[in-house]
Homo-oligomer: A and B are copies of this chain.
Amino acid sequence: MSEIPYKIYLEESEMPTAWYNVRADMKNKPAPLINPGTHQPMGFEELRGVFCDELVRQELNNTDRYIEIPEEIRNFYKMYRPSPLVRAYCLEKALDTPAKIYYKFEGNNTSGSHKLNSAIAQAYYAKAQGLKGVTTETGAGQWGTALSMACAYLGLDCKVYMVKVSYEQKPFRREVMRTYGASVTPSPSDTTNVGRQILADFPGTTGSLGCAISEAVEAATSTEGYRYVLGSVLSQVLLHQSIVGLESKAAMDKYGIKPDLIIGCAGGGSNLGGLISPFMGEMLRGEQEYEFIAVEPASCPSLTRGKFVYDFCDTGNVCPMAKMYTLGSRFIPSPNHAGGLRYHGMSSILSQLYHDGYLKARSVEQTAVFDAATKFARVEGILPAPESSHAIRVAMDEALKCKETGEEKTILFGLTGTGYFDMVAYEQYNNGTMTDYIPTDEELEKSFAQIPEVDA
């Protein structure tokens, strides 16, 4: 076995040509999406009004283990993939740990995160169907940026509803999207019924992700030739993001490395689900053992403190409902929460795997996350996104445990993106003014009380 380089890059010829669908290997399949009015499972005909046809097929496909990646998407992937699998030699040295730490770095593209992997896929199928454009929402802006890039590449119109407070506080993200030709509307806006209603009910509101989703869905379903696309949570998104795990696994296999522990941050679950999928598949098929840890913010703890029930995915209750670990669709993290990972629910796939005991979860507080981010930046030279830094925090904690026990564990974590557009949060941390907040049981109970009863 040759010496492990700092960065393992696959050759173009070694890149995956099919996505891996973990649902094919799950004994307990994720529960189906249901209609928010009738509570009946939604089939192809009902879903195709919201999503484009091929994506509905992928959303409903619980059986095919591999789904071929169309050539045009593979060519787009070649512009920024394969992403490097990095051996964190410098971090290991700084921690003085016997653990071997690897991370899959998805930040080396202009969207700054893994979101581009699904954005190009969703835009491609919309284009292939002859649609004119797509609509979506964005909070911090990573997903909106990724979708703008994909749409610019394919010549597809892109309408982004951006949570108003982010629109105003993150003008640079907004300008990147505009540079890629997207139209960006602060949400809530007066361009949709649901937006006008929210503005009337809550004058002066700065918006929320759930509200922006409702606007984007209304805009898509009320405009000829448009469909709605979403950057996380959905099973189709985890399918596309499996490219992250497949590349990681191929790179590790090439050097005969087997990870003991795989760690990812989890908001809606797109990164974690993508990273762990092929490894989880081996475990589900009984071929291999791994330990998986989902890391979420203590301020938005859907896995560690949420309920596993059907809930709304948006504020306006226009989206399909999903069975998932949820904090309630009206839950909004405390205003001191920095970065993403602020969604109230979790991917149905990951929720089911967690419920069935295949996946562990841990919540961390944000000052501890930024401690880890800053240490990591200084020794590994990459300024991580706050979201990604949740995984760094736990990877460092686990490596420090190995230092105590002497175990030479091999740890793999997902470094989903860069923090260039998160410097307001870093500034708070640098100035010592960053604070933590953990919701009380009472707050969560209040939020849980708004979850509807569903017999499904």
Contact = CB atoms under 8 A, between A and B. Distances in A.
Contacts of A434: none
A379 B153 contact: yes
Instruction: Count this chain's copies in the assembly.
Output: 2
Contacts of A110: 377, 381-383, 418
A430 B148 CA distance: 15
Contacts of A12: 5-6
B6 A9 contact: no
Contacts of A178: 426-427, 430
A5 B153 contact: no
Interface in A1-57: 5-7, 9, 11-12
A175 B423 contact: yes
Contacts of A90: 79, 153
Contacts of A280: none
Nearest to A373: B179
Given A181-B378, A381-B110, A421-B420, A6 B79 contact: yes
A51 to B, nearest CB: 25
Given A382-B110, A383-B110, A176 B423 contact: yes
Interface in A402-456: 418, 420-421, 423-424, 426-427, 429-430
Most chain B CB inside 10 Å of its own CB: which residue of A149, A152, A423: A423
B381 A171 contact: no
A179 B374 contact: yes
Contacts of A7: 78
A172 interface: yes
A171 B423 contact: yes
Which of A12, A179, A378, A429: most chain B CB closer than 10 A?
A179
A336 B78 CA distance: 37
A6 B427 contact: no
A109 interface: yes
A112 B421 CA distance: 13
B175 A381 contact: no
A320 to B, nearest CB: 31
A290 interface: no
A185 interface: no
A365 interface: no
Interface in A358-405: 374, 377-383
A125 interface: no
A90 B79 CA distance: 9
A377 B7 CA distance: 26
Given A5-B12, A423-B175, A79 B430 contact: no
Interface in A141-192: 149, 152-153, 171-172, 175-176, 178-181
Interface in A105-149: 108-110, 112, 149
Nearest to A148: B378
Contacts of A381: 76, 79-80, 109-110, 149, 153
Nearest to A108: B108
A12 B89 CA distance: 15
A180 to B, nearest CB: 6
Task: Give the 3 A-B residue pairs with the shortest CB-CB distance, closest first.
Answer: A172-B423, A152-B378, A6-B78
27 contacts: A5-B78, A76-B381, A79-B90, A90-B153, A109-B381, A110-B382, A149-B378, A152-B377, A152-B379, A171-B427, A172-B172, A172-B424, A175-B426, A175-B430, A176-B383, A176-B420, A176-B426, A178-B426, A178-B427, A178-B430, A179-B383, A179-B426, A179-B429, A180-B377, A180-B378, A420-B420, A420-B421
Given A76-B381, A79-B381, 6 more contacts: A5-B11, A5-B12, A152-B378, A172-B420, A179-B430, A180-B378
